[in-house]
């Protein structure tokens, strides 16, 4: 339970102040009214911030939280509960503090006469344009529960796609970090000991070029590691600033599409997101033009967003969806053909969902094959580098042994 501090007047007009425990704003208001008080001010007392609270604040509200919220919301609306009652229940049972605060604000807006979509639109960092527009369409068509279910399914699919990519790349990243750690250990700890040993030998051993290079690299890293960090930080800062500009963002997004192997993977992820978002919006009753506007903003790639905007412009001039989609050159023939069939049969949303499912499977297969290639390459590369360093360190010893003979 939360603690609320209040100021109120009793039946005689006397001003009272105090604190009371309650589950939410509605409950505490009802309690005070039952006590015969006229409330003049009411605020929720701030709770002590724990490490977990700080973590949740930094982490924010994720796709999983939104998916659970949407599915629970849809279930209660379908059961016949009013929006205010539904939001009150969700506010009470939500464990995520930030989301609980937002739900409370949405409930207060609805009690003040606002629509659900308008209340959601006040929190753009949490509820995207896709979410708000689908809810607005659900309100207009009287199918809010169905739309919320579609949203929950959409969010769960998006979360599953991200988790597949993340889980498949975790091991290669850990392997690369281990390889880098091993190289740094050899460079900073092992090589200096050999360098000291070679120095003590004096002029008896002429150091081969590989050994000189290894020792030089070790000295440079140990003496100028701070310079490397400074240069990396400065380069990262200016690169980030450049990517935030329109020209820099276009260069970065185009680069992501042209990278060997990874470029094809990025393209498949974007097409899967485009198809699922577009299909979900169309199925929820959002008009085609509005759907494409939302989709162009939902795609995290300027090149594809520009292509979707071009499709939208062509449709405004009387074209079908498939023709400008093919003319953009960004979408594979299979996607164009599926959209064309969907337009002709009136099942565009179904076809788009099928395209999204197909590309989700393609992304999973590509990531798995990419992982199976990266792992042995990293292992062989790490072994080759460490082996070369060891050989360069032992070459002078072999030379010394031959000279003694």
For the ranges 128-142, 185-199, 229-243, the maximum mean pLDDT occurs at: 229-243
Alpha-carbon gap, residue 187 to 171, rounded angstroms: 24
Same-domain status, 257 and 374: yes
CATH number at residue 95: 1.20.81.30
Domain that holds residue 113: 61-156
Q: Is the pLDDT of residue 187 over 70?
A: yes
Q: Is the pLDDT of residue 292 over 50?
A: yes
- Work out the percent of the chain whose per-residue pLDDT is above 70: 90
Strands of 208-366 (E only): list them.
none
- pLDDT at position 397, please? 77
51 confidence band (pLDDT: 50, 70, 90): very low
Model pLDDT for residues 235-291, shown as the tens digit of each residue: 999 999 998 898 998 999 999 889 887 888 889 988 988 888 888 888 888 888 888
Alpha-carbon gap, residue 54 to 271, rounded angstroms: 36
Angle at CA of residue 237, ends 236 and 238, nearest 5°: 95
- pLDDT at position 58, please? 39
Is residue 55 domain-resident? no
User: Where does a domain end: 156, 171, 193?
Assistant: 156
The answer for residues whose C-beta is within 8 angstroms of residue 357's C-beta and 6 or more apart is none
Q: How many domains does the chain have?
A: 3
Same-domain status, 78 and 20: no
Same-domain status, 114 and 235: no
Higher pLDDT, 177 or 39: 177
Same-domain status, 115 and 169: no
Alpha-carbon gap, residue 355 to 362, rounded angstroms: 10
User: Where does a domain end: 156, 184, 217?
Assistant: 156
- pLDDT at position 234, please? 94
- pLDDT at position 230, please? 93
Is residue 234 domain-resident? yes
**Alpha helices (H) along 284-332:** 288-298, 302-316, 322-327
Is residue 308 domain-resident? yes
Is residue 241 domain-resident? yes
Strands 2-9 and 15-22: antiparallel
Which residues are 17's β-sheet partners?
A: 7
Alpha-carbon gap, residue 76 to 83, rounded angstroms: 9
Residue 50 structure tokens:
């724990």
- pLDDT at position 337, please? 92
Instruction: Name the average pLDDT for the chain.
Output: 82
When pLDDT is averaged across residues 151-163 and rounded to a whole number, the result is 84
Same-domain status, 110 and 214: no
Alpha-carbon gap, residue 100 to 10, rounded angstroms: 31
Same-domain status, 351 and 255: yes
- pLDDT at position 341, please? 92
- pLDDT at position 56, please? 42
Concatenating the DSSP letter of every residue in 193-208 gives HHHHHHHHHGGGSPPP
């Amino acid at each position: 339970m939360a603690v609320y501090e209040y100021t109120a007047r009793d039946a005689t007009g006397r001003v009272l102040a105090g604190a009371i425990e309650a589950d939410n704003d509605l409950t505490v208001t009802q309690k005070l009214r039952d006590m015969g008080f006229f409330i003049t001010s009411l605020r929720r007392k701030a709770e002590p911030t724990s490490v977990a609270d700080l973590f949740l604040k930094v982490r924010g509200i994720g796709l999983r939280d939104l998916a659970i919220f949407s599915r629970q919301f849809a279930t209660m609306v379908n059961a016949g509960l009013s929006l205010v009652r539904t939001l009150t229940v969700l506010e009470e049972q939500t464990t995520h503090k930030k989301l609980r605060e937002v739900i409370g604000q949405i409930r207060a807006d609805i009690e003040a006469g606002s629509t659900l979509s308008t209340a959601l639109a006040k929190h753009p960092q949490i509820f995207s344009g896709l979410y708000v527009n689908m809810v607005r369409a659900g309100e207009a068509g009287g199918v809010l529960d169905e739309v919320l279910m579609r949203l929950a399914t959409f969010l769960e699919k998006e979360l599953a796609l991200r988790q597949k990519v993340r889980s498949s790349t975790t091991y290669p990243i850990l392997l690369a970090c281990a390889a880098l750690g091993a190289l740094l250990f050899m460079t900073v700890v092992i090589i200096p000991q050999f360098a000291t040993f070679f120095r003590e030998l004096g002029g008896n051993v002429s150091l081969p070029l590989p050994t000189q290079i290894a020792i030089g690299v070790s000295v440079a890293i140990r003496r100028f590691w701070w310079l490397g960090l400074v240069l990396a930080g400065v380069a990262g800062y200016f690169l980030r600033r450049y990517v935030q500009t329109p020209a820099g963002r276009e260069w970065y997004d185009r680069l992501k599409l042209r990278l060997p192997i990874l470029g094809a993977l990025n393209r498949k992820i974007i097409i899967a997101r485009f198809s699922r978002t577009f299909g979900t919006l169309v199925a929820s009753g959002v008009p085609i033009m509005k759907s494409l506007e939302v989709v162009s903003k939902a795609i995290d790639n300027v090149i594809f967003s520009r292509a979707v905007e071009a499709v939208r412009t062509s449709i405004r001039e009387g074209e079908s969806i498939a023709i400008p989609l093919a003319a953009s050159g960004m979408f594979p023939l299979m996607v164009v053909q599926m959209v064309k069939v969907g337009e002709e049969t009136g099942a565009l949303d179904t076809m788009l969902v099928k395209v999204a499912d197909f590309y989700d499977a393609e992304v999973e297969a590509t990531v798995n094959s990419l992982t199976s290639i990266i792992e042995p390459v990293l292992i062989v590369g790490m072994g080759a580098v460490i082996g070369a360093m060891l050989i360069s360190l032992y070459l002078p010893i072999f030379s010394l042994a031959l000279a003694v003979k």
